Structure 1
């Protein structure tokens, strides 16, 4: 509890002389924190009075007593009369306590002395931040990765923030990610040789490059194989069906228009249509067994050239030999292995329908076994001359290692003028 400030004497104006002839601006003040005058230098006592004989020097703080927290404060009473600027108060000058003044650290009151809490000690040198403290804070911030407190005004703090965060513009823009990872604190930068070694270490080695090339080669090969398989199994069938269907329509149009063809056909020329009702097969028959000109176009080829020449359907006796793909390119003979005895095989020409019935099958034989095309084919079970048909294709599926043979015997010749045979109607 601080002491009350004494009122000036009634009628004493500011600037008027007080007691002892001293002006108001230079007289001593008896109160808490009063000036002690100009002794050996102006000093601030921080208390109403000082110990007698102890002057306050320049730059020195007056001694302050310790605060006794156990002291009991007496009840406060109003003073009988306001103290004047004369008397004991005026006697306190130049740091010397007046007679009867309270001891240092004790406030003067009418009812007795009261202990006063001493003020917190202040830095006698400066109240500003010290350069050593700033450097210490800067080093600590560098260790923990926090921004360094920057002394100065707003402009200095803004510049420091830009240096720390790398912001752009007035409001910064936030910290930016460095292009390269920051090196550890105190670590020396890489030399030119070390930088080159580090760059070479990051480059892939010869084994890595070779493995990548091999992997790319395998991927490319796999893609090419996939495209080839797609072409063989799907696109070749699409194209062959289109070409075979177009050839069959042209034949039927020629027959309907009455256009006659000579008895001998050129290689690749279509002259008949084969029907296998059980397998839902309808395909044109062309002269020859050329892979590119006949078979790959989805047509069935007639053995009519060279040493494998066979008879035509209208011959009185003989073996009408045919060949066709089992897989890809229209695959007209893919399921002839499913034929059973009595199943119909019909050959349609410009003049008539020739109806055969399946009689026997040879599941596997060598591609060089041409005896299956003889007028009386071997292995067919026929023993006398007759009008026969022989169907040949590759086996197993998707290979050309062996041949599959199916034989049939003619049972009916029906002129076109009489309409379709029963085998094609039912």
Structure 2
């Protein structure tokens, strides 16, 4: 009898092994990609907040130490013949209170990106430095609140407009939507403390609704939200809904009192 040589068919097994290796490789890539994405999320949502909040607290402390170390500023010169707390200020005397830098009798805006004030909102437990400008890298991503350069300075007539992150990078305006009419907003500077009272909140408007920053603020998108008389306003803006930048949340406040340091 002739001995038969067995025939081994390997094609199907080879295809299966290749498919298994491809699936394994794809699974490894998916796990690696997932780990990288998870690290990015942790960095963005936790680490940037930790860094920015620490830096912001440190900046607030430095500002307060600088202010405490300053000698008291001389008061305005009284007009001859006037006595007591009701005395009038002499013509040409420097007014008190603007959180801007002074050069002689000329008031200038604070240098770009410089922290020069502290914003406090008791309702939401916020204490954050205020810097000139709203650039992300130089101001907002550091956990600071940014002052719109072309708006009024805090305590001045007009509209002092501020912006801050709602999520990541310190997220100072995370709970801005919790403010209610009558809530107190404080801005401390080297010269004075300005106390504002929240007047109204615009829950959602478009990023292009720039009239909310006008000297007498109003919404061109939502006309029912408006002010009609000149005053000393404060506007707080941030992104909404959370974790997006689709719309803007706006809170308006009005100046209630000024206390010199």
TM-score band, normalised by shorter chain = 0.7 to 0.9
Cα offset, 1:266, TM superposition: 1.8
Match of 1:275 among 96, 111, 120: 120
2:193 pairs with 333, 353, 356, which one? 353
Give the equivalent residue in structure 2 for 1:229: 41
Q: Is residue 239 of structure 1 aligned with residue 51 of structure 2?
A: yes
1:183-198 equivalences under 5 Å are 194=8
Question: Could you tell me which residue of structure 2 aligns to residue 322 of structure 1?
Answer: 162
Task: Provide the alpha-carbon RMSD of the alignment.
Answer: 2.3
Does 2:151 match 1:310?
A: yes
| Higher RCO by CA contacts (8 Å cutoff, separation 6 or greater) | 2
Aligned pair count reads 221
Shift of 1:207: 2.3
Using the alignment, how far apart are the partners of 2:10 and 2:22 within structure 1?
22
Distance 2:15 2:213 in 1: 69
The equivalent of 1:251 in structure 2 is: 63
1:67-117 residue CA offsets vs partner (Å, 9 max, x unmatched): xxxxxxxxxxxxxxxxxxxxxxxxxxxxxxxxxxxxxxxxxxxxxxxxxxx
Whose strand proportion is higher, 1 or 2?
2
CA distance in 2, matches of 1:342, 1:201: 76
Runs of 4 or more, structure 1, over 4 Å off, are: 197-200, 259-262
Deviations 1:174-205 (A, max 9, x none): xxxxxxxxxxxxxx9x88x85xx669947853
Q: Is the 8 A contact 2:155 2:255 kept in 1?
A: no
After superposition, give the CA deviation of every residue in 1:29-59 in whole Å (9 maximum; x if it has no partner): xxxxxxxxxxxxxxxxxxxxxxxxxxxxxxx
> Is 1:367 matched up with 2:207?
yes
Q: Is the 8 A contact 1:394 1:403 kept in 2?
A: yes
The structural deviation recorded for 1:279 is 0.7
- Whole-Å separation in 1 of the counterparts to 2:237 and 2:215: 15
Inter-partner Cα distance in structure 2 for 1:206 and 1:288: 58
Matched, 1:301 2:142: no
Gaps of 5+ in 2: 72-99, 103-107, 220-224
CA offsets 1:138-178 (integer angstroms, 9 cap, x no match): xxxxxxxxxxxxxxxxxxxxxxxxxxxxxxxxxxxxxxxxx
| TM-score, normalisation: structure 2 | 0.78
Q: Structure 1: where are the runs of 5+ without partners?
A: 1-187, 417-426
User: What does residue 219 of structure 1 align with?
Assistant: 31
> 2 CA distance for matches of 1:199 and 1:310?
76
Distance (Å, rounded) in 2 between the aligned partners of 1:204 and 1:294: 57
Counterpart of 1:184? none
